[in-house]
Amino acid sequence: MSNIQTSIEAFDAVDLIHTKRDLGELSTAQIDWLVDAYTRGYVGDEQMAAMTMAIFLNGMNRREIKDLTMAMINSGERMSFTGLGKPTTDKHSTGGVGDKITLPLMPLVAVFGAAVPQLSGRGLGHTGGTLDKLESIPGWRASLTNEEMFAQLRDHGGVICAAGRGLAPADGKLYALRDITGTVEAIPLIASSIMSKKIAEGTSALVLDVKFGSGAFLKDIDRSRELARTMVALGEDAGVAMSALLTNMNVPLGHAIGNANEVRESVEVLAGGGPADVVELTVALATEMLDLVGITGVDVAVALKDGRAMDKWREVIRAQGGDPDAALPVAKETHVVTALRDGVLVEQQALPFGIGAWRLGAGRARKQDPVQHAAGIDLHAKPGDTVRAGQPLFTLSADEPERFARALEAVEGAYRIGDPGEPIQDGGPLIAERIGR
């Protein structure tokens, strides 16, 4: 007889998989057990992979999604900013091509007395990561302790940093599994993944920038709307003030796609210039973030023009060890693509340009891969612009010129010059809809 004793588990993973596979509903206790058992390794990856596919195919109701989110929050620590003496407000974007909005947005909101605890991530595939962009700045440090983060929020009003490993660790493990099992796009899993980290972060208000279109995570606006509504409901159920903007990602955002070049463009916005679409979205999101914490009647656009947001940017970059005056990396090689005819740029698809920048070295195929901070694409024309034959349309930048061929393959057919009066294929206005109270 064996002397080995094993603990008795409350449920069996196979029974839970059968339930969700057969269109059933998981109880709160079952979801709590499943997340806990997976986090401690009792439920194996192959079992959780079967469960995530069942969820992908059959969905979850609002109560199940809430329970999944709370179980992932409870797998780790929860932060609190109640001692700051100022309201906390944050933003999350579902990611896109040229989306550098966090960089000018954080200092802009902090100017008005709110604290912005912006926990950010790294890029994977065609969507860029905020931390990768900021690490273009010499000396800048992404990893802070909770104590350092709190002190920076207290003293400077804003921080952009990596989430600690103690924040919703179940989500980190589950996301890695979803990434290799074809279940990333499941709305219950996306919503619980994003909101578990944001609720555990402890912010009192959160604005969601949910993208749709060619370069977005979810290309269909109806699916993006469903995701936005699900996440707004999750946040409100947890006592977080919420709103969401559905924003157009059919066309790259701004002119820069990459890392160092996106930092340069963000600094242009903070200096009162920059592309109109980047300015529009930054101002809209800042207004939402401030409204949610009761800071109303302020003109955020003015703070971009008069230098206050730039001063705050320099302050918070220095606080994390960065030198805001240092030269940013420049690529060793460039390749310019020019217009073959006179006309109007009528199409410029986001996804192919994101893939092109990734192939140049601006992104990574695996989480452990490094990025080339100087690699990327700079657009010299946007849809609706009149161009002349021989005029530069965009410039590819890379440290290895052999990367240009595959990047050019990615963008082939992704842009088109038409005749004056021809309809512009840009998917409509930048901000399509607001969701929330």
- What average pLDDT does range 108-122 have in this prediction? 92
Q: State the residue for tokens 């991530």.
A: 121
Query: What integer pLDDT is reported at residue 4 of this predicted model?
Result: 45
Say what angle helices 62-73 and 221-237 make with each other, to 10 degrees: 60
Query: What integer pLDDT is reported at residue 181 of this predicted model?
Result: 86
Query: What integer pLDDT is reported at residue 152 of this predicted model?
Result: 95
Average pLDDT, the chain: 93
Give the pLDDT band (50/70/90) at residue 120: confident
Handedness of CA 53, 54, 58, 61 (dihedral sign): negative
CA dihedral 417, 420, 425, 426 (to 10 degrees): 100
d(CA 416, CA 204): 45
Are 300 and 356 in contact by the 8 Å Cβ rule? The answer is: no
51 pLDDT above the threshold of 50: yes
- What average pLDDT does range 223-240 have in this prediction? 95
CATH 1.20.970.10 boundaries in the chain: 13-59
Query: What integer pLDDT is reported at residue 168 of this predicted model?
Result: 85
Say what angle helices 187-201 and 169-179 make with each other, to 10 degrees: 150
Provide the β-strand partners of residue 377.
257, 396
Q: State the residue for tokens 């966090």.
A: 102
Are 196 and 171 in contact by the 8 Å Cβ rule? The answer is: yes
**What type of residue sits at position 323?**
D
Give the pLDDT band (50/70/90) at residue 1: very low
d(CA 429, CA 335): 31
d(CA 77, CA 24): 31
d(CA 204, CA 318): 26
Query: What integer pLDDT is reported at residue 19 of this predicted model?
Result: 97
Least reliable range by pLDDT among 38-42, 164-168, 240-244, 321-325: 164-168
Query: What integer pLDDT is reported at residue 23 of this predicted model?
Result: 96
Per-residue pLDDT tens over the stretch 410-429: 999 999 999 999 999 998 99
To 5 degrees, how large is the angle CA 311–CA 313–CA 319?
105
209's enclosing H/E stretch is strand 205-212
SS3 of residue 156 by DSSP: helix
Give the pLDDT band (50/70/90) at residue 124: low
Are 206 and 92 in contact by the 8 Å Cβ rule? The answer is: yes
Query: What integer pLDDT is reported at residue 184 of this predicted model?
Result: 82
How large a percentage of the chain has pLDDT more than 70? 96
Are 298 and 274 in contact by the 8 Å Cβ rule? The answer is: no
Query: What integer pLDDT is reported at residue 3 of this predicted model?
Result: 47
Are 183 and 53 in contact by the 8 Å Cβ rule? The answer is: yes
- What average pLDDT does range 92-118 have in this prediction? 95
Query: What integer pLDDT is reported at residue 5 of this predicted model?
Result: 43
d(CA 178, CA 415): 32
How large a percentage of the chain has pLDDT more than 90? 82
Class of domain 13-59: mainly alpha
CATH 3.40.1030.10 boundaries in the chain: 82-326
Q: What is the DSSP letter of 190?
A: H
The gap from C-alpha 264 to its chain's centroid, in whole angstroms, comes to 19
Query: What integer pLDDT is reported at residue 122 of this predicted model?
Result: 75
Q: What is the largest CA-CA distance in the chain?
A: 86
Residues with a catalytic annotation lie at 92, 171, 178, 193, 197
Are 133 and 103 in contact by the 8 Å Cβ rule? The answer is: yes
Which of 188, 217, 244, 147 is closest to 56 using CA atoms? 188
Query: What integer pLDDT is reported at residue 257 of this predicted model?
Result: 97
* Architecture, CATH, for domain 333-418: Alpha-Beta Complex (3.90)
Fold of 82-326: Pyrimidine Nucleoside Phosphorylase; Chain A, domain 2 (3.40.1030)
d(CA 95, CA 252): 11
Per-residue pLDDT tens over the stretch 383-404: 999 999 999 999 999 999 999 9
250 pLDDT above the threshold of 60: yes
CATH 3.90.1170.30 boundaries in the chain: 333-418
Query: What integer pLDDT is reported at residue 6 of this predicted model?
Result: 56
Q: What is the DSSP letter of 381?
A: -
Query: What integer pLDDT is reported at residue 121 of this predicted model?
Result: 78
Number of residues that make up the chain: 437
Per-residue pLDDT tens over the stretch 156-214: 999 999 887 788 889 888 988 887 888 888 999 999 999 999 999 899 999 999 999 99
Query: What integer pLDDT is reported at residue 95 of this predicted model?
Result: 87
2 pLDDT above the threshold of 60: no
